[in-house]
Structure 1
């Protein structure tokens, strides 16, 4: 694989540096290359940061596009990388993405980042600074500041970007857009997004006991930007999501999927305010439990967005932990709302519509209208739908920054950045709630009144509660920077 990537790199340099005329450049005709031959310049050499779990699934999708070579694999946990190393035996393997980029940068065209949330920002930025196109799993980053920096970096370094919320490329989202564009439900004023997550421990205290670090895992490297803390059994490979040091809770896991249709349909930007209520546990003597390191067992977030061009303001509700909105009266008693545990509902001045996770199974309400109402197709479909989300990024990266393919990606960072920031605003509201520590064991008013946070989006600042701004940008552990 290394030999092939070197050939590809040399070929690209040759085409780039060889002038045919003062106003043109040299293109190798396909007939010269022979029937069935794919020019090296028409393939993408991908390096995967995160080779197990979702990372393994991602690299398989890139390879299935038919235009990507998996040249390099990187994972801090050898156990998780077994499958990908078996599937791509010629790919060179690393544990530290910084070492991989430093040594192999010249042979890499693009980088996939599919690791715990707290490392997304630093890994993606390191690749972008080397002018590598990036595909980053949702949520795009752990912090609002990181999302803003990556969004700006995409243009600074002229790279093609995509976030891994594959439903953004599905036909369902586009059908919702078509209905809205046709005025079928009028002006949307309220949106409900809900999920049955978390399905991992949250609202719990961090274990006080430590466990031996498993063979093959470099835990210090896994911690990366996070504070230095001891390993405990169960935190890997999945339950890190519930701990603020590493994950972003139910919001980070599902909101980029479930809120994406709302952003696509409404063209939402930064929210103007955020507020929350959370479910807390009770301990002895009727005191409310305080677990500042872990997300809540359930939450209800309300984000408000300013209406554009005379449209009404939009109120977006996020509910997790199994909390759901009231069933629309137009929905039959035995009809499924969303996909059961998850979904999105739009309330407009002339009607309502809903969909499941990823925007699948879009329906007008009452559901009989779904087949009755015919509207023109105003939004182009993505070839391959959700699977095409990966292939579209590969093809756009080959076409290059500024190409129409890159501009038309469903979740490039110009789209994914504001979406991710809004998702993380929910977590900022939750964690601001947790700032109000109990005064004592008999303080039944803890955590006190709920706060409505006023958000200055362009300047990334809470304007009415300065203590909350500590969650906009983390302090990285020494030795790590973005």
Structure 2
């Protein structure tokens, strides 16, 4: 029997066992997971971490985990272990076992792995995460959680089921200054009665300059000899290899990535979404889609999200702007528009074009706040208002751990993750709905309770997307 089939059989067997344990032995639920967690609680011990997706952004994630001093890198897995982008990290961890297929990795050394970090393309987060959780492995996965609304929903449900598994989405600013400031200012009543948020990311993107009159996917090219193209595609439908699908280019395409919104939204809207209890919207409307086509993202997008009242909190409109020619309106007293050196540049390099921070402007009944992305903190504008309120502002605690350390300490039972799937999932689904509006070009009306799109059959089908190809169906069963 092939290793792939063995992996599938083992996955299904473990899932069946877990289901039986839920029904028959509630006091012993997921005993294996409990053992792993208790075994890792000693402060002197490191977490055995397997890393899946090790080139480009994946390399940076692994290096950040290594810096904490709490991770023992036991395995490195990538679909192209012979590519230039994977060589450096393998040289840094020569003792780690190497794999090209994550299923074989779990088959051969599952008992040696306590946690995984996933730095693969957006569309491939889902099957790796689902298999890891079912096998009792703690999961750190880059943002956004997954490409489709339904995949994120299943990941949320899996995290509830495998409730001893620690989860964290990689929106790293959710463990930095903005997180603690937004929380403190909300609790102190400084941020209240918010009715509009303008979020913006106006840097040039990879697909800018492409021909928007595209009628088909790019032509097939010769697949690099070191790349397993079949595994790279995972559960998606078949595509021929092309260089514009790999090494970050996947972000351009609806079939693989989530564009500028999925890339930067979680670094800009995460704290507002959590601490204002936004949940899911009732409507998403495209206001501008420059260069709209059926294959890759527009060169400029403006979206309007409508969020309903939540208890005593008023309705909120969230406006998203991307594209170099699509700057949002700037309120009087905004102040300096220059770039914030604390905001990481896009993966394509330095921020170019409009000199405006990726960030947000938050409008409340009485105040306006200016903010950046990631961990950048908010300012009250205009400056005169900020000075007048300085004495009223609460003290903001410092972060006890960055996002990577927070995850590992949570694996050891010493902290709780700040971006678990219960928090990061609905945020990711907000972006999934925005992508559907971009893709279809239509306004969508969304039922928050039933979690369906009520006015557009095609858009509603995109919540789930096409069925997984043969051999990958198992990951969609909980």
TM-score (norm 2): 0.81
User: How many angstroms does 1:457 deviate by?
Assistant: 2.5
Shift in alpha-carbon separation, 1:208–1:242, aligned structure 2, 3 A? closer
Separation (CA, whole Å) in 2 of partners of 1:328 and 1:470: 39
Shift in alpha-carbon separation, 1:199–1:208, aligned structure 2, 3 A? closer
**Residue 294 (structure 1) aligned to one of 288, 293, 296:** 296
Superposition map of 1:371-382 within 5 A: 372=388, 373-375=390-392, 377=394, 380-382=397-399
Match of 2:247, SS state, is: coil
Moved more, 344-353 or 467-476: 467-476
Root-mean-square deviation (CA), in Å? Answer: 2.6
Shift in alpha-carbon separation, 1:279–1:309, aligned structure 2, 3 A? closer
Shift in alpha-carbon separation, 1:306–1:215, aligned structure 2, 3 A? same
1:95 matches 2:93: no
User: How many angstroms does 1:211 deviate by?
Assistant: 1.8
User: How many angstroms does 1:377 deviate by?
Assistant: 4.1
Moved more, 134-143 or 369-378: 369-378
Match of 1:279, SS state, is: strand
1:397 matches 2:411: yes
Separation (CA, whole Å) in 2 of partners of 1:16 and 1:210: 48
Conservation of the 8 A alpha-carbon contact between 2:277 and 2:310: no
1:440-465 superposed Cα distances (whole Å, 9 cap, x missing partner): xxxxxxxxxxx432112332200122
User: How many angstroms does 1:478 deviate by?
Assistant: 2.1
Separation (CA, whole Å) in 1 of partners of 2:100 and 2:381: 51
Shift in alpha-carbon separation, 1:393–1:27, aligned structure 2, 3 A? closer
Conservation of the 8 A alpha-carbon contact between 2:78 and 2:99: yes
Separation (CA, whole Å) in 2 of partners of 1:428 and 1:29: 43
1:339-369 superposed Cα distances (whole Å, 9 cap, x missing partner): 7241111001111111111141421101344
Conservation of the 8 A alpha-carbon contact between 2:190 and 2:393: no
Unaligned runs of 5+ residues in structure 1 are 1-11, 18-25, 31-37, 282-289, 434-450
Larger Rg: 1
Equivalent in the alignment of 1:195: 201
Match of 1:212, SS state, is: coil
Equivalent in the alignment of 1:437: none
User: How many angstroms does 1:198 deviate by?
Assistant: 5.2
Shift in alpha-carbon separation, 1:331–1:169, aligned structure 2, 3 A? same
Separation (CA, whole Å) in 2 of partners of 1:207 and 1:455: 30
Equivalent in the alignment of 2:115: 110
Equivalent in the alignment of 1:152: 157
Equivalent in the alignment of 1:310: 312
Conservation of the 8 A alpha-carbon contact between 1:278 and 1:296: no
Separation (CA, whole Å) in 2 of partners of 1:176 and 1:216: 46
Separation (CA, whole Å) in 2 of partners of 1:109 and 1:207: 40
Shift in alpha-carbon separation, 1:369–1:292, aligned structure 2, 3 A? same
Equivalent in the alignment of 2:141: 136
**Residue 411 (structure 1) aligned to one of 419, 438, 445:** 419
Superposition map of 1:30-49 within 5 A: 39=44, 42-49=45-52
Separation (CA, whole Å) in 2 of partners of 1:374 and 1:220: 60
Shift in alpha-carbon separation, 1:127–1:174, aligned structure 2, 3 A? same
Conservation of the 8 A alpha-carbon contact between 1:44 and 1:109: yes
Conservation of the 8 A alpha-carbon contact between 1:304 and 1:316: yes
Equivalent in the alignment of 1:457: 448
User: How many angstroms does 1:269 deviate by?
Assistant: 0.9
1:409-435 superposed Cα distances (whole Å, 9 cap, x missing partner): 2211111001000111100111222xx
Equivalent in the alignment of 1:5: none
Shift in alpha-carbon separation, 1:459–1:380, aligned structure 2, 3 A? farther
Match of 1:357, SS state, is: coil
Conservation of the 8 A alpha-carbon contact between 1:194 and 1:320: yes
**Residue 480 (structure 1) aligned to one of 450, 456, 472:** 472
Shift in alpha-carbon separation, 1:375–1:56, aligned structure 2, 3 A? farther
Superposition map of 1:54-65 within 5 A: 54-65=57-68
Shift in alpha-carbon separation, 1:28–1:325, aligned structure 2, 3 A? closer
Unaligned runs of 5+ residues in structure 2 are 1-30, 344-355
Equivalent in the alignment of 1:432: 440
1:50 matches 2:53: yes
Superposition map of 1:67-466 within 5 A: 67-78=70-81, 79=83, 80-158=85-163, 159-184=165-190, 186-197=192-203, 199-201=205-207, 204=212, 205=214, 206=216, 208-281=218-291, 291-322=293-324, 323-332=326-335, 335-336=337-338, 340-370=356-386, 372=388, 373-375=390-392, 377=394, 380-384=397-401, 388-399=402-413, 405-406=415-416, 409-433=417-441, 451-466=442-457
User: How many angstroms does 1:118 deviate by?
Assistant: 0.7
Moved more, 317-326 or 67-76: 317-326
Conservation of the 8 A alpha-carbon contact between 1:116 and 1:246: yes
Aligned length: 418
Shift in alpha-carbon separation, 1:75–1:185, aligned structure 2, 3 A? closer
Equivalent in the alignment of 2:69: 66
Conservation of the 8 A alpha-carbon contact between 2:194 and 2:316: yes
1:293-342 superposed Cα distances (whole Å, 9 cap, x missing partner): 1111111111111222222101111111132221111224x554887241
Match of 1:269, SS state, is: coil
Conservation of the 8 A alpha-carbon contact between 1:278 and 1:430: no
